[in-house]
Amino acid sequence: MMSEITVAAPATIANLVCGFDVMGLAINEPCDTFTVKLSNAKGISLKHTDGFNLPTDNAKNISAVALQALLDACPDVNGFEVVCHKVIKPGSGIGSSASSAAGVVVAANYLLNQRFDKKALVDFALAGEYIASGARHADNIAPCIYGGITLIRSHKPLDIIALTPPPLAVTVLHPQIEVRTADARKILKPHVSMQQAITQWANVGALVAGILQSNYELMGRALQDVIVEPMRKILIPQFDTVKDACMQAGAIGGGISGAGPAMFMLSKTEKEAKQIELAMQHVYNKTDIAYRTHVTSINMNGVRVISNT
Ligand code: HSE
């Protein structure tokens, strides 16, 4: 039986513009790594090797809370030792908390001989996501675990639909400012008009159809958000200028990544994705805001094993 495992958990892009809290995709870069061992000691012992100063109190640490949810379902298991090496900056909008939650539960499940299915792992990881954002939304966790693009039809009970996307390049702009998901959720008005709802569900349906039909033009038309983006874009400096420049550079579409401040753009090829990256850099070089960009692609596998013994 395997006693130690190291996994890579990918960054994810939640919402996919029109699908607030229900759609998300996994990307190949960046990834966090987690080493998890079965332990004879009771409970969870967790260390971080990164410099993000994440909470060391298990009750406040996303990985520990998610793993505890799994441990609570395993009366025959004493505990786990975990070493987290995070690269995805917390508060970036590319699923740092989801990676923390999903990576450790997937790793632990390998040590337990795949005792749980993917949906059960999402459910455990949601306990961790809840302490990060104050909500049990699975739109980062599901793609982190399943890979590709996922649609959450229902959170209670969980109903996750894994969609196989056509090849897509992804360009990410990450302004080095922090937007806490919980804060980006507090600014949202709790009610939408019937007209906004009609536009939004038409776009979500069209986006799913575009993905399944490999119809890039339809996907582009569907990547419109009349509800959340207008309220949240004020948190992202130069949002409209970046978006316009990326569309002119050949993006299919894109917008805020998760709760921001990261932005993402989809394109058909890596060559286009690099043009879009240049367009992002061109806009941000005129500001005094530090930023990073990534050109990557869709991660079709979700959390993957790097090594085991
Ligand atoms: N759907 C969530 C939100 C994702 O937009 O608040 C946060 O990571």
The residue contributing the CA closest to ligand 1 atom 3 is: 259
Q: How far is the CA of 182 from the centre of ligand 1 (A)?
A: 9
Percent of the chain topping pLDDT 90: 92
- Percent above pLDDT 70 for the chain: 100
- Using an 8 Å Cβ cutoff, are 209 and 218 in contact? yes
Residue 164, pLDDT score: 94
> Which of 53 and 82 is assigned the larger pLDDT?
82
CA pseudo-torsion sign 174, 177, 183, 186: negative
Q: What's the whole-number average pLDDT of the chain? A: 96
Q: Of 11-25, 48-62, 203-217, 261-275, which range is least confident?
A: 48-62
Q: Measured between alpha carbons, how far is 304 from 309 in angstroms, rounded to an integer? A: 15
Residue nearest to atom 4 of ligand 1 (CA): 258
Q: Which atom of ligand 1 is nearest to the CA of 188?
A: 6
pLDDT (tens digit, 9 = 90+) per residue, 269-295? 999 999 999 999 999 999 999 999 999
Is the pLDDT at 1 greater than 80? The verdict is no
**Mean pLDDT for the stretch of residues 43-62:** 92
Q: Residue 134: is its pLDDT beyond 90? A: no
Closest ligand 1 atom number to CA of residue 259: 5
The atom number, within ligand 1, closest to the CA of 15 reads 1
Instruction: Give the per-residue pLDDT at 178.
Output: 87
Domains of the chain: 4-163+299-308 (3.30.230.10), 169-297 (3.30.70.890)
pLDDT at 216: 98
Position in ligand 1 atom list of the atom nearest CA 185: 6
Q: What is the mean pLDDT of residues 140-163?
A: 97
Distance 90 CA to ligand 1 centre (A): 13
**Rounded to whole angstroms, what are the CA distances from 238 to 87, 110, 115?**
25, 43, 47
Question: In this predicted structure, what is the pLDDT of residue 236?
Answer: 96
pLDDT of amino acid 97: 95
**205-250: per-residue pLDDT in tens?**
999 999 999 999 999 999 999 999 999 999 999 999 999 999 999 9
Atom of ligand 1 nearest to the CA of 95: 8
The pick from 13, 15, 92, 187 for probing ligand 1's pocket by mutation, whose C-beta has the most ligand atoms within 8 angstroms, reads 15
Q: Among 286, 300, 292, 298, which Cα is nearest to 93's?
A: 292
Tell me what pLDDT residue 80 has. 97
User: Which atom, in ligand 1's list, is nearest to the CA of 228?
Assistant: 5
Using CB distances shorter than 6 Å, the residues near ligand 1 are 14-15, 20-21, 133, 137, 139-140, 181, 184-185, 258-259
Q: Phi first, then psi: what are they for 228, rounded to 5°?
A: -90, -45
Say yes or no to pLDDT of 27 above 80: yes
Instruction: Specify the pTM.
Output: 0.96
Q: What is the pLDDT of residue 199?
A: 98
* The predicted structure's pLDDT at residue 76: 96
CA of 21 to the centre of ligand 1 (A): 6
* Burial of 281 (C-beta count, 10 Å sphere; 0-12/13-18/19+): middle
Mutate which of 22, 94, 137 for ligand 1? The one with the most ligand atoms within 8 Å of its CB, which is: 137
State the helix-helix crossing angle for 118-133 and 96-111, rounded to 10 degrees. Answer: 140
